[in-house]
Every structure is written in C-alpha cells, then in structure tokens.
Structure 1
Amino acid sequence: MRTKKISVDELALPSSSDVVLDLLFGHAEHQLSAQALCKAGDLFGIGSQSMRVALTRLLQQGKLGKTGRGNYQLNPGGNTLFRDVDDWLHKENRARSWNGRWLGVHVDALARADKTIWRRHDKAIALRGFRPLRKFLYVRPDNLKGTLAQTRAELHALGLIDSALLFEIATLEPQDDAAVRALWDTDMLRLRYRALLDLLARSGKALPKLAQGPAARESLLVGREVIRHIILDPLLPAEMMPTQERHELIDAARQYQAQARSYWSCFLEQE
C-alpha cells in the first residue's frame, strides 16, 4: 500500500479557541497578549471579535487565566488535556515493556444516558489507546507505566465515567487474543506516520520561502495535525507494531516545532 501525500490545503482550519490554546501551548511561557492572539486569528480568517469571545469563554471554562491587563496564560488545572498536549514530545516515556497482558474497561449501558459525560468518557478512552472489543468493553495492551490505580486516576481525570470498571486481563484464548490484536489497524497507522513525516519534510523546506505570516500559518496547521496524531497514538508495544516510525515522527516534529516557534515569534513581534 502506497503512502498518500497530505496537502497543507486539506488540513482542517482551527477554530478561534483552537488558535488561542495552540499558541499558548506552543509559546515558551504559555502566555500571550490579547492583541497578539487577535493578530494570529487574522491569519485564519478569524476576526478580533471572535477571538475575544473565545478568550472570554476559555476564561469562564477555567482553561485560561489572566496575568495582567489583556494578557492571558494557560491554566493547567482547568484543562484535562494539559499534560498530554504539553508533554507530547515525551509520549513514549509513558510506555514500558509489554508482559503480554491486557487492560480492560467495562461500563454499564446506563452510562450512555448523559451524552456530555459519555463524550468525555469516549475521549478519555481514545486518548489512552483503548479500542472496543464488545459493546461497553474496551481493551488495550497493558504496557502503560504506573499501577492500575494510577491508570484509573489518569483516566478519571480525562473524563472516564465514575462507574467504569478498570481491570487487568492475564490471558486470553488464542482466538480472542487474535481478535484483540486486530482491533488496531497497524498498517494504516504506519502509513499515517510516513505521510506525516513526508508532510513535515516538505513543509520544513517550504517555510523559508514564505513570508512571515503565511509561514506562521502553515507551521501551525502542520504542527497541530502532527501533534494531534502523536497525542492520540495508542502506544502499541513493539510486539504488535514496529516503533521506529513513531520515534522518527516525534523527532521530526521536535525539530519542526523549533522552526515554527521562530516564525511565530517574528510574526507576532512584527508591527
């Protein structure tokens, strides 16, 4: 199967809230002025009024704080994804060698009654790489660092439903083991790694030829697509899928982000 090239033009445009959070996460001190954030919004066709509405909404949600008049910073305690987004470079440090066991999560059917709670639960499950094996039963390899209690605490912080049961699975029947392994399309995952590596390489060469504004815009679009993929990576053990492409993608993304920050710094400082 050939790797399909990803075009910058086909990448999803960020919302006003996305622009605010992405720039604050990417900024060294996690704080910027409203003026700078509004200037960034212009690159994506988002007006100042919409950006200021987003700032107010994020403040109300507790995801941002103010450091002074017109200056905003991230509030780690108000964002359940802060650790995942802020620490994407070290994502692989969360994995350990695999002992062949599995982790399971089971939820009661009644848990779906509240759609808002269920969406948060679904997101928590996805962020930790679980896949549905049966209705209301999710599994993943037991190769995440930490005790079962620590994993449960992390999942609950991300939005896992309180009544969910987290447990270890020591062994599976051969046919069930094969069915579980097939839940992850590892061929497609590897193709996506390669496509994103190619996108980073092409964009990295193109950025120096662009003006500051377009270069900053492209770097955010490309960076958020790659980082999103890294954050959602299920961290499968080497026994299920080679890890080299993941290593390469994280390393390439690290270099690209350093390049992107320089373009954003120049753009935001430009009068």
Structure 2
Amino acid sequence: MPTAKSLIQSLLLAAEDGAYPARQLVAACGLFKLTENNVRVALVRLQSEGMIAAEGRGFYRLGPAAAQLAQEIGAWRQVEARIQPWDGHYLAVHCAGLSRSDRAALQRRQQALSLHGFAELDKGLFIRPDNLKGGLEDLRHRLHALGLEDTALIFRASSFGAATEHRLAKLWPCADLNTRYQELREQLEAWLAMSARLRPDQAAREAFLIGRPAIRQVIYDPLLPQEMIDSSARAACFEAVRRFDAAGRTLWLEFFRFTDAPWAPAP
C-alpha cells in the first residue's frame, strides 16, 4: 500500500508539469484509508525537501528537487527509442573510491545507476551494454544530473576475456525478464477487459495498485540489446503498459469528477 507521501509524489509525477488541488490529493489518499492529516504531514515534508511546491491557493506541483528525476521518469513512454544496435562494447562506472557514509549521496548514486540498467560486476564496478543512443557522453550527463559524483570514473570497455564475458552474460536476469514481460502484459490486458464493471473509486484504486509497479518495470528496465533479451516480448509488454496508463488516467479523471458524489469509498 502507498503512503501519503509516495502517493502524492506518484500523482504529481504523472501530472508532469501540471498541478493538483489539495482536495483531490486528499480524495486520492482517502482511497487507501489515508487521512487528511496524513496528507497535510506529507505535503509539509515534501515541501521541506523541495520535492513539491505550492502554487496559488491550495494547489501543488513538483518542486525543483524533483525536476531531473521527473524528466528521466517522464520519458518512459518513449524509452524504447533510446535503444540502438549493440556492437558488443559496454559502458562502465567505477565507484569503489567514493564514500558510502553519506547516505543521501549513496542513495542518489544507486538510483542513477539503477535507472540506467547498470549491474555490479565487481565491488564498485558497474556495467551495462553500450546500446543506448548518445553513447558515453549522453550517459555521463544523465548520471551526473541525477546526482552521481563527478569523481566517479565513467568509461567504455571491451575485451574482458572469456571468463569475465561469461560472468557478464549472467549479470542481468534475462530469463526472468522475458517471463515478466509476458506475465505483466497478460495481467494488464485481463484487468482492462473487466475494468468497465468497476465503480469509479474501485477502478481508480486498482488502476494505481496495478499500474504503479507496471510503470516502474518500464522505468527501471535495463533496456538490454536483442542479443540478450526477447525484444519482441519487451515491446509488447511496454505497449500494454502504455495502454494501461492511458486508461488509468481516464479512470482517475472520472474518479475526481465524482469526488463529491454521495457514494462512499469501497471498503
């Protein structure tokens, strides 16, 4: 179940550059048995962190601290356009000399690497296939913008040797990813086929609970080359997530239109 803080962040990220009135945030949190006081506390904390900002009277939008993350996450619908043919080279980030005592810096570093599909080959050495458009320089810019320290070494790598190449092939759970693509697509399509029978509050609630991990799957997908992954299954899965997201947005708009209606939230 989401917390008030995570739900508000998710709604504002989905709104991209839009703003939400506080009454709609309260109504949304109410679907998950979160109180108005929970919402107030979350809004104060998110504002103090710079993650959201008040706008006008009772409206909130993403704040400056969330800008770069929102830009990365907001591009998930077109993420496949970043993939290009792979020539067998890798991109590497060496972090072994960086501090692990600064928890905030460590969290930013880990998130930046996870968002770009890096896996740890050896302690402090993270690797991904060099199959994304823009190559090394684009990736360097993206990682630094998300908080990776300037002192991290970022470079292109190849010719690892047979033993290491064998280890590289096992860094990503490719078989599990292929299975997940198929299962997730089937789950989303099955729910969409029956969603018209649900009440607006129930539909909005379920769309969030199902759609949130589905979108996260796309956002954190390593975007591996077709030599490693079933790219057709991935494409079908991502298309299903886009259809689900579009339907979910419509269901949430319908829920907000009925926010003041006389029915009670589903138990």
**Contact 2:94 / 2:154 at 8 angstroms: preserved in 1?**
yes
Partner Cα distance (2:132, 2:16) in 1: 28
3-state SS of paired residue (1:200):
helix
In the alignment, what sits opposite 1:10? Answer: none
Partner Cα distance (1:150, 1:18) in 2: 29
In the alignment, what sits opposite 2:250? Answer: 262
Quick check: 106-115 or 191-200, which moved more?
106-115
In the alignment, what sits opposite 1:184? Answer: 172
1:243 to 223, 231, 235: 231
1:201 to 167, 172, 189: 189
**Contact 1:118 / 1:161 at 8 angstroms: preserved in 2?**
no
In the alignment, what sits opposite 1:174? Answer: 162
Q: Is 1:20 aligned to 2:8, yes or no? A: yes
1:231 to 191, 216, 219: 219
Q: Deviations over 1:88-127 (max 9, x none)?
A: 1111112211111011111134521222211221111111
1:155 to 127, 137, 143: 143
**Contact 2:98 / 2:152 at 8 angstroms: preserved in 1?**
no
Bigger RCO of structures 1 and 2 (CA < 8 A, at least 6 apart): 1
Partner Cα distance (2:214, 2:64) in 1: 22
**Contact 2:47 / 2:63 at 8 angstroms: preserved in 1?**
no
**Contact 2:86 / 2:129 at 8 angstroms: preserved in 1?**
yes
Partner Cα distance (2:109, 2:146) in 1: 8
2:199 to 211, 214, 224: 211
Distance 1:76 1:239, change over 3 A: farther
Partner Cα distance (1:144, 1:87) in 2: 14
1:164 to 134, 137, 152: 152
Distance 1:110 1:82, change over 3 A: closer
**Contact 1:111 / 1:161 at 8 angstroms: preserved in 2?**
no
- Give, in angstroms, the shift of residue 77 of structure 1: 5.7
**Contact 2:16 / 2:70 at 8 angstroms: preserved in 1?**
no
Which residues of structure 2 form unaligned runs of 5+?
A: 261-267
Q: Is 1:252 aligned to 2:249, yes or no? A: no
- Give, in angstroms, the shift of residue 33 of structure 1: 0.3
2:39 to 30, 51, 55: 51
Quick check: 61-70 or 32-41, which moved more?
61-70
The 5 Å alignment of 1:73-222 reads: 73-75=61-63, 78-222=66-210
3-state SS of paired residue (1:250):
helix
Partner Cα distance (2:243, 2:218) in 1: 15
CA-atom RMSD in angstroms? 1.7
Partner Cα distance (1:170, 1:54) in 2: 47
In the alignment, what sits opposite 1:64? Answer: 52
Distance 1:76 1:224, change over 3 A: farther
- Give, in angstroms, the shift of residue 167 of structure 1: 0.7
**Contact 2:50 / 2:64 at 8 angstroms: preserved in 1?**
no
3-state SS of paired residue (1:111):
coil
Partner Cα distance (2:86, 2:10) in 1: 33
Q: Deviations over 1:67-102 (max 9, x none)?
A: 310011123663432122211111111221111101
- Give, in angstroms, the shift of residue 217 of structure 1: 0.3
TM-score by length of 1: 0.90
